[in-house]
Amino acid sequence: MSPKNESFFEKVFEVVRKIPEGRATSYGAIAEFIGMKISARMVGWAMNAAASQSDVPAHRVVNRNGLLTGRHHFSPPELMQQLLENEGITVEDDQIQNFKEVFWKPEI
């Protein structure tokens, strides 16, 4: 991983650590917040790498529609849904049901 990616990933991890329990955000919202609006996919890569970062609640980051697109990076894949449900978030068919209500927008 290049130093540029490490710096980007650390910025992403810093934002993700701020997501309150019981809330979720999107890859795109994080990318926009760190000034890289077109880099939502890179935020996804950072979440994939977050497996080695036990203090990064990657389960709280989903796609713009509330879909648990990163679930296959959890072991087992059902763990992402379980962690969200443990925080009171309703998930059906791999999608957060009340995403607009639980959505957390990163702010300064």
Model confidence pLDDT, tens digit, residues 60-101: 999 999 999 999 889 899 999 999 999 999 999 999 999 999
Q: Residue 108 domain-assigned?
A: no
Query: Would you place residue 49 in the very low, low, confident or very high pLDDT band (cuts 50, 70, 90)?
Result: confident
Q: Residue 30 domain-assigned?
A: yes
Query: How many domains are contained in the chain?
Result: 1
Q: With pLDDT > 70 as the criterion, what percentage of the chain qualifies?
A: 92
Q: Residue 107 domain-assigned?
A: no
Helix (DSSP H) and strand (DSSP E) numbers for the chain? 5, 4
| Residue 54, phi-psi category: left (phi > 0), alpha (psi -120 to 50), beta (remainder) | alpha
DSSP state of 63: -
Q: Residue 66 domain-assigned?
A: yes
* pTM, full prediction: 0.90
Query: Would you place residue 54 in the very low, low, confident or very high pLDDT band (cuts 50, 70, 90)?
Result: confident
Q: Residue 23 domain-assigned?
A: yes
